[in-house]
Structure 1
C-alpha cells in the first residue's frame, strides 16, 4: 500500500531559492510544496532510486515525468507558477538497485541549472565495460546467437581500447551502444542514467530543422523554416547524409542483422538526445540540400533546445503517425469487398483474465460476423507501428487465420533460474507492478517457469507453451499483411506465423523483430557501478513456430513480398503507399 510522506524541512540557501532532503522508503510517495513564487528550475535527485515525479495544480495533475532512467539520476523541469494557484509535487521510486532500500531524495529550486558533469576516469570506463561483458555472458541467452565467440572477443578488445581513450560519458556511451547493437536483439537496451539533454549546452546551438529518413534519403521535415519542406538534405556541417544515417543507427537495436529500424528510428525518436551525442551541438549549421533539381547551400544559426523540441513536436510526418497509431485496434472498410484489421500494439491487456482481453475477443468475433455476413474475400492485417506486448493477444488473432494448431514456440530457454549478479540488478517497474520486490521473488518466478536444466540451459515448461487450436471460424479469403520497420516482439512473432502458414501477400519493410527466433518474454535490467549506465535484455531465447521459407534468411526480420517506397510528393501529401499498393494489386487481378 502506498503511503504519502510530507517533506518537513526546507533550507534556504544563497545559491538556490530552496533546498531540502528527505528519506524515501519503498512504497512511499513524497509530497513537496514548491516555495518559489517566481519561475524557477526544480531538480529532484537520488543516488539510490530512479524517481518518478508528478506536478499538481489545485489538485489536478499537470505533468508526469521520468526523463532519466538511472538510479543515480536527476529529474528537472522548469516551474512557472501562476498567482493564486496551489502547487504540489509528488515523488516516488520507480526502480532501484536490488540491494538498495530507502533512498535519500534531494530537491532544489533555483534560478538556473548547471550542465551535468559526465567525467570519469579511463579506469572507471574500462571497469564498467568489463562488468557489462560479465553481465551479458552470465545472463544473456542471445549473446552468441548471431555472433561467434571470436567475433564477440574481437569487438570487446576494440571496445576496451576505445573505453580507455574515452574523455567523457558520451564517448563511453558510444562504445557501449555499439557493442549492445552488435549482439542482434531488438529487446536490448543500453542508455545513459540521465536524459542526454541534461549533459548538453543550454546555449542556442541545436539543429534549426528536423530530418526524416525516407527510404535512405534525409528529407527536411519542418514547416516554416529556411529550407523547403521535403527538400533532400545532402550534408550537415560536412557530414554526408549517408554517413549520418550510418552513424546514428548504432543507438538502435534489431534482431539479427536487420537494418531498416536502426537506420530510420533515430530520426523519429532520437533527434532530441542521441543526435547530439553523435554529432555534437554547433553555433552554426552549414546545410547542403537539393530542391527542384538544384543543389543549394545555406548557413543557419543554431536554435535553442526548447525551439528544436517544438520543431520535433510539430514535424510534418508526425501527423500521419499520430493518425495511424490513434487506436490500439480497429476494423474498417477500405473499399468494395475489402476490410482492414489494424493492430497497433499488444500492450493493452496483461493476459486472458484481463477484461481488456475479453473485450478484444468480442471485437474479433464481431469482425468475423461482418466478414461472413458480407462474404468478404479480401482482408488487410495492418501491423505497422506495432512493437508487441502480451503473447495471448497475438495468439488470439492468429487463431482466426490459421488452418492448423500452433504454439508460441518450438522451444524457449534461459541460461539460469537464479538471477546472476543480483547486486547490480535493477528492480524495474515491471517487477514492482507484479509484486516482485527483490531477487527472491524473481527467483521463485524463474524456478516455476524454467525448473530443469539440460546441458546448461533451462527450458520453458510444456504446460506454459500449449498447442493452440484454430477458432471454429477462420478467414479463408485473400490476406494482405502490412509490416514496417517498427514491428517487433509479439507483433513480429504474429507476422512470422501469418507469412509462414497463410496465403498473405506481405507488403512493406523488413521488421525489426526476427522471423525464426528472438530473445523475449522477460526483460532484466542491470546498472553499471561507475557511470550508472543501465543495460537490459530479454533473457529467454525463443525458437518460433515458423517454417523455413526460401526468402527468409536466418538473422532477419519478416521480409515483405512487395517492398514499398515513398516518393517526395507522396511524403509531402502523406500518401498511404501501403493502401495504394493493395489497390493496384486488386486492379491487376480484375
Structure 2
C-alpha cells in the first residue's frame, strides 16, 4: 500500500476550513488533522471514488463511516473535540468506476451542512432507467427466473412513464427500487449515491418512536416513551400500519416471492433513511395506537436525526438480538440431552486455506466429541440472523449432518464470461481485496470458473463443483433447524440441504434465501451516469442440490414446519420463543 499522505495546508473561507483537489489513488490513505476547537461538521467529498472515513482520538479509532455508496460520495462526521486530546481523520477510497485512475477529494469543516439538492431533468431520469434496464438485460442471469419477459416489459413501461414525471432523485429512486425488487433476488442491490439523510432536513422532524413488525403488527419499540412499549401502532399521520409495512417493503429484496424479510427488515435497518424517503419528515406526528384494548391518539413533536439514531440504537427489541449475535459461532448445552450449534454468519473465513476455516474445523470436531461422548440425541442448528458468506463453511457444517455425498449445486451459470458495459462497472472492495483492479482481472476470473458455453450460457466448471463426502463422524439423532427471515445466501443454501436430506424439524420464519435456486457466487455493481445511483446483483444462477418437497413451491424460501409467532408478553420479555418451541416438540430419547 502506498504511504499515507498527510494534509497540512488549509484555507479559511467564511469561517469554514477547507482543502480541495487532493488527489487520492486506489490504495492510498489520506490523513487529516481537524482544525476547529469547537464542535463542527467535517465533510469529505469525492468526485469519482466512494470514500470511507475513520476518526481517531489519541491514535485509537473511535468511529468508522461509509454512509454513501456512490462514486460521487459524501461523508459527514460530527466532530466534537475534547480538550487535550489529539484527533486525526483517515480517508481512503473503497470503490471506483473501472475506467478511473485517481480521484479528487475535498475536506471542509463547518458549523452547518447544506441539504443535498441535485437537480436532474426528466430526460436524465429516463436515460438512467434505460441504462439500468440494459445492464440487467445483459448481465443479470436471474432476470427472467421468476418473471416472464412480458411482465418485465410491462413494469419497465410503467417505470419509464413514472421516470418522465419524477421531480427529484427520491421519486426516481422509488421507481427503480420497485423494479429491482420485482426481479426476485435477495442479492439485488439498488441504492442512492449518498445517505438519504443528507437530502433531508437537518431540523427536529424525525419520528419520536421506533417500530417493530411482529407478525404483521407494528409495535412501539422505544423504552420510556409517551406511548407504552409494545403498544400496537394503528396509524401515523393518517397512514395505516398495513400501508406503512407494504410501502416500506418495496426497498428490500428477497429470492422469488418470499415476503417476511421484506416486510420486517426495514424497521430494523431502514428507519434512518428509507422510512423518510417514503413518508417524509414532519414537525409533528399524529400517532394512533392500541393498548390494553383501548385506542388512543397522541401528537408528538419531531426529534433531531441524532436523537432518533440514539432511539434506534437503544430500541427494546435489540436485547435478544444482541444476545443471539454475540458470537459468530458457538456450541452450548440447552437442557437434558440437547445441544445447540449456532452459526450467525459464514463470513469469518475466505476459504479452506484461511486459518479461520481450520479453527472452525477443529471446533466442529470438538462438537462431535461432546455429542458422541454424552450420546446426545437432539441437536439444534440455529441459523437465525445468518446472512451467508463463504460456501466452504456451510459445506463443512453439512458434512457433519448428512450420510450422503452432496454438491454445492446441480449446476450454475452466467450469461457471459467477459463483463458487459464495463464503462459503468464499479470496482468494489470485494474485488480490490482479492487484487482485482479492473475488468481484465474480473474477465480472467470468469473465464477460469465459467469456461463452457452452451446455448448462450456459461456453466460452472465441473472441477469447481465437486462431490463433497460426509465426514467420517456424522450426527444421527434428531435435528431441529431454527431459521428466521434474515437467513440468506450460503445460510439458506445450508438450510435447504438440511431440510431436504435430514430428519430436521424446521422452526421459525420463511427465509429470504430460496429453497431451490438463487443468484449468487459473484456480485457486480454498476453506477448510473446521471444520478449516480448504484445497482448490483449476483451474476451466477445456482440450481441448488435440494430435492422436491410437497411443501416447497418455486419462488419460496425455506418454509418451516412450525411457524413462530410472538405474543405481546414474549416481546416484552424478549423470550426466545424458538427455543421454547424445541422444548415443546422434543421427544424423550433413550441414552
Q: Equivalent residue for 1:224?
A: 224
Cα distance in 1, alignment partners of residues 240 and 458 from structure 2? 47
Q: Name the SS of the counterpart of 2:175 in structure 1.
A: helix
Q: Equivalent residue for 2:253?
A: 253
Cα distance in 2, alignment partners of residues 484 and 430 from structure 1? 27
Cα distance in 2, alignment partners of residues 119 and 308 from structure 1? 28
Q: Equivalent residue for 1:538?
A: 538
Q: Name the SS of the counterpart of 1:380 in structure 2.
A: strand
Q: Equivalent residue for 2:482?
A: 482
Give CA deviations for 1:471-510 in whole Å, capped at 9, x if unaligned.
1111110110000000000000000000000000000000
Cα distance in 2, alignment partners of residues 507 and 84 from structure 1? 55
Contact 2:8/2:33 (<8 A) preserved: no
Q: Equivalent residue for 2:358?
A: 358
Q: Name the SS of the counterpart of 1:296 in structure 2.
A: strand
Contact 1:13/1:19 (<8 A) preserved: no
Cα distance in 2, alignment partners of residues 177 and 410 from structure 1? 31
Contact 2:10/2:17 (<8 A) preserved: no
Q: Equivalent residue for 2:127?
A: 127
1:254-403 matches, cutoff 5 A: 254-403=254-403
Give CA deviations for 1:229-260 in whole Å, capped at 9, x if unaligned.
00000100110101100000000000000000
Q: Name the SS of the counterpart of 2:16 in structure 1.
A: coil
Gaps of 5+ in 1: none
Pairwise CA distance, 1:84: 2.4
Relative to structure 1, the CA distance from residue 366 to residue 589 in structure 2 (aligned partners, 3 Å threshold; closer, same or farther) is closer
- Whether 2:421 is the aligned partner of 1:421: answer yes
Q: Name the SS of the counterpart of 1:3 in structure 2.
A: coil
Pairwise CA distance, 1:19: 3.4
1:450-469 matches, cutoff 5 A: 450-469=450-469
Pairwise CA distance, 1:101: 1.1
Cα distance in 1, alignment partners of residues 347 and 17 from structure 2? 42
Q: Name the SS of the counterpart of 1:396 in structure 2.
A: helix
- Whether 2:496 is the aligned partner of 1:496: answer yes
Cα distance in 2, alignment partners of residues 494 and 435 from structure 1? 29
Provide the TM-score with structure 2 as the length reference: 0.99
Cα distance in 2, alignment partners of residues 290 and 58 from structure 1? 50
Cα distance in 1, alignment partners of residues 322 and 174 from structure 2? 31
Cα distance in 2, alignment partners of residues 147 and 197 from structure 1? 33
Worse overlay, 296-305 or 425-434 = 296-305
Q: Name the SS of the counterpart of 2:361 in structure 1.
A: helix
Pairwise CA distance, 1:9: 3.1
Pairwise CA distance, 1:8: 4.6
Q: Equivalent residue for 2:145?
A: 145
Pairwise CA distance, 1:2: 3.1
Q: Equivalent residue for 2:408?
A: 408
Cα distance in 2, alignment partners of residues 25 and 360 from structure 1? 37
Pairwise CA distance, 1:176: 0.5
Cα distance in 2, alignment partners of residues 460 and 315 from structure 1? 45
Q: Name the SS of the counterpart of 1:23 in structure 2.
A: strand
Pairwise CA distance, 1:15: 5.3
Q: Name the SS of the counterpart of 2:166 in structure 1.
A: coil
Worse overlay, 578-587 or 504-513 = 578-587
Q: Name the SS of the counterpart of 2:11 in structure 1.
A: coil
Query: What number of residue pairs does the alignment pair up?
Result: 590
Pairwise CA distance, 1:83: 2.1
Cα distance in 2, alignment partners of residues 192 and 62 from structure 1? 26
Pairwise CA distance, 1:52: 1.1
Worse overlay, 185-194 or 16-25 = 16-25
Cα distance in 1, alignment partners of residues 368 and 17 from structure 2? 63
Q: Name the SS of the counterpart of 2:12 in structure 1.
A: coil
Cα distance in 2, alignment partners of residues 561 and 230 from structure 1? 28
Give CA deviations for 1:100-130 in whole Å, capped at 9, x if unaligned.
1110101111111001113311111111000
Contact 2:377/2:589 (<8 A) preserved: no
Contact 2:58/2:87 (<8 A) preserved: yes
1:66-81 matches, cutoff 5 A: 66-81=66-81
Q: Name the SS of the counterpart of 1:206 in structure 2.
A: coil
Pairwise CA distance, 1:584: 1.0
Q: Equivalent residue for 2:439?
A: 439
- Whether 2:519 is the aligned partner of 1:522: answer no
Pairwise CA distance, 1:586: 2.2
Worse overlay, 189-198 or 77-86 = 77-86
Q: Equivalent residue for 2:102?
A: 102
Pairwise CA distance, 1:588: 8.9
CA RMSD between the two structures: 1.1
Cα distance in 1, alignment partners of residues 108 and 303 from structure 2? 28
Contact 2:206/2:304 (<8 A) preserved: yes
Pairwise CA distance, 1:589: 9.1
- Whether 2:136 is the aligned partner of 1:136: answer yes
Contact 1:17/1:111 (<8 A) preserved: no
